[in-house]
Structure 1
Amino acid sequence: MSDTITAAELTTGDTFRDVEGHGQTNSHGPSVTDEVVVKKPWSGDSWLLAPVLENGRTAKGTSFALSHEEIDARFEAGRYLPTDLEVNRTLDADALPVDTSTDVYIRFGDIPDDERSYNHTDDCYEDGVSVYAAEIESVPPASEAPAMFVPIGSKTLQILMLAQRDTYLVTGERVGTGVDGEPLLRNVEIVSELGRGDEASGWVIVGDDDE
Structure 2
Amino acid sequence: MNGLYIRFGKIPENEKSKIGNGIVGDGYKCIGYEEGVSVWNAIKLSDGYHLVAPLHANSCTHGDFSSSAFPDDCCGCDKNTKIFVVTGDEVGKGADNEPLLRNVKILKELPYDYFRMETK
Q: Which residue of 2 aligns with 1:170?
A: 86
Could you tell me which amino acid in structure 2 is paired with residue 156 of structure 1?
D
CA apart distance, 1:197: 4.0
SS of 2:10's equivalent in the other structure is coil
Residue 194 of structure 1, aligned match among 86, 105, 110? 110
Q: Normalized against structure 1, the TM-score is what?
A: 0.40
The yes-or-no answer on 1:115 pairing with 2:15 is: yes
Q: Give me the whole-angstrom Cα distance separating, in 1, the residues matched to 2:16 and 2:98.
A: 13
| Cα RMSD, aligned residues only | 2.2
SS of 2:69's equivalent in the other structure is helix
Q: Which has the higher strand share?
A: 2
Q: Which residue of 2 aligns with 1:93?
A: none
Question: Residues 177 and 112 of structure 1: is their aligned pair in 2 closer, same or farther, counting only changes over 3 Å?
Answer: same
Question: Residues 167 and 198 of structure 1: is their aligned pair in 2 closer, same or farther, counting only changes over 3 Å?
Answer: closer
Q: Which residue of 2 aligns with 1:31?
A: none
Residue 40 of structure 2, aligned match among 129, 132, 141? 132
Q: Give me the whole-angstrom Cα distance separating, in 1, the residues matched to 2:115 and 2:99.
A: 26
Q: Percent identity?
A: 37
Q: Give me the whole-angstrom Cα distance separating, in 2, the residues matched to 1:133 and 1:149.
A: 10
Bigger Rg, which one: 1
Q: Give me the whole-angstrom Cα distance separating, in 2, the residues matched to 1:168 and 1:125.
A: 21
CA apart distance, 1:114: 0.2
Q: Which runs of 5+ in 1 are unaligned?
A: 1-100, 140-147, 202-211
Name the count of aligned residue pairs: 93
Q: Which runs of 5+ in 2 are unaligned?
A: 22-29, 54-61
Residue 181 of structure 1, aligned match among 87, 90, 97? 97
Higher relative contact order, chain-length normalized (CA < 8 Å, sep 6+)? 2
